[in-house]
Amino acid sequence: MTSQPAEQRAAHKPTNPTPTPRHVGIIMDGNGRWAQNRGLPRLAGHRAGVDNIKRILESSVEFGVEVLSIYAFSTENWRRPPDEVTGLMRLLGLTIQRQLGDLNRNGVKIVHSGRLEGIEPSLQRQVRNALEVTKNNSRIVLNVAFNYGGRAEILDAMRRIMQEGIPPEAVTEELLSHYLYVADLPDPDLIIRTGGEWRLSNFLLWQAAYAEYYQTPTYWPDFNEDELRRALEAYAGRQRRFGGVVAQTINPGNSQSPATSVAQA
């Protein structure tokens, strides 16, 4: 618990840049480099990364974000050294064990995007239990992309559609959306990537079709509330056109541009 006086704590309280994205996705990159810079093993970086998820989740609630999606382990991450893969699997199990009670008390609804097949049965049970325990919570949704790939998600959706014998003419974008790993989430408005790279890395390919992107060189364990505020402010100044020509400034007060203008998609 903090021993700061109330007025000092208030000064640190996030100011809410409005309107806030409903759904923020984060590609949490840079754990390994964060650790290496400190002469620590890569897994120490992942542990620090897990600690940071809790902080950013709380800040997201305070900023009014409804859904936070985090990219915790991709279908491509199996290519990492076996020690690191095993370490990441254990870390997920330990995190559920240690944090589930708190997350549940804090009203966090956990959902999982990804394949459970291929994951150790006891970890599968832990994940299923976390989803079940928190399913009625509504303060914020934490969508954990674990053993996740955007292409695999679309492929899995198509396979289920075909298995159910749905005729091709009935397969619409809306229908396919219902077959994604988590069907009833709003599309992400903002995708943040930490760690300095500019790639999407197979994250939420279908859902992020019209998301705004934000990149920062900060490594994930150092990405704090101020950094999140900066990302949300950058988002608030963007113009979203959704493929049309009439631009919508998300927060006209935060931009030099007029609220609507004719521009190319």
| Alpha carbons 230 and 173: distance in angstroms, whole number | 33
Q: Which active-site residues does the annotation give? A: 29, 77
Residue 171, amino acid: V
Residue from the set 17, 21, 30, 150 that interacts with ligand FPP by CB under 6 A: 30
- The radius of gyration of the chain's CA atoms, rounded to the nearest angstrom, is 19
Q: Which stretch binds ligand FPP (CB under 6 A): 69-77, 118-126, 149-157, 248-256?
A: 69-77
Tell me the residue length of the chain.
265
Query: Does position 88 bind ligand FPP by CB under 6 A?
Result: yes
Is the CB of 123 or the CB of 176 nearer to ligand FPP?
A: 123
CB 50 within 8 A of CB 95: yes
CA torsion 241-244-247-250 (nearest 10°) is -30
Q: Is 165 left (phi over 0), alpha (psi -120 to 50) or beta?
A: left
Query: Does position 32 bind ligand FPP by CB under 6 A?
Result: yes
Is the CB of 152 or the CB of 157 nearer to ligand FPP?
A: 152
How many angstroms separate the Cα of 29 from the Cα of each of 34, 46, 51, 201, 230?
A: 10, 10, 14, 11, 18
Helices (H), 13-116: 31-37, 42-63, 82-105
Is the CB of 127 or the CB of 211 nearer to ligand FPP?
A: 127
Query: Which single residue brings its beta carbon nearest to ligand FPP?
Result: 32
Whether the ω angle into residue 19 lies within 30 degrees of 0, i.e. cis, is: yes
Query: Does position 236 bind ligand FPP by CB under 6 A?
Result: no
Residue 207 beta carbon to ligand FPP: minimum distance, rounded to whole angstroms: 19
CB 140 within 8 A of CB 61: yes
Is the CB of 33 or the CB of 230 nearer to ligand FPP?
A: 33
The closest of 86, 101, 96 to 124, measured between CA atoms, is: 96
Query: Does position 87 bind ligand FPP by CB under 6 A?
Result: no
Residue 77, amino acid: N
Query: Does position 114 bind ligand FPP by CB under 6 A?
Result: no
Query: Does position 29 bind ligand FPP by CB under 6 A?
Result: yes
Q: Which stretch binds ligand FPP (CB under 6 A): 44-52, 116-124, 161-169, 183-191?
A: 44-52
Positions 134 through 173 that interact with ligand FPP (CB under 6 A): 144
Total number of residues binding ligand FPP (CB under 6 A)?
20
List of residues contacting ligand FPP (CB under 6 A) = 28-33, 42, 46, 49-50, 72-73, 77, 88, 91-92, 95, 144, 195, 220
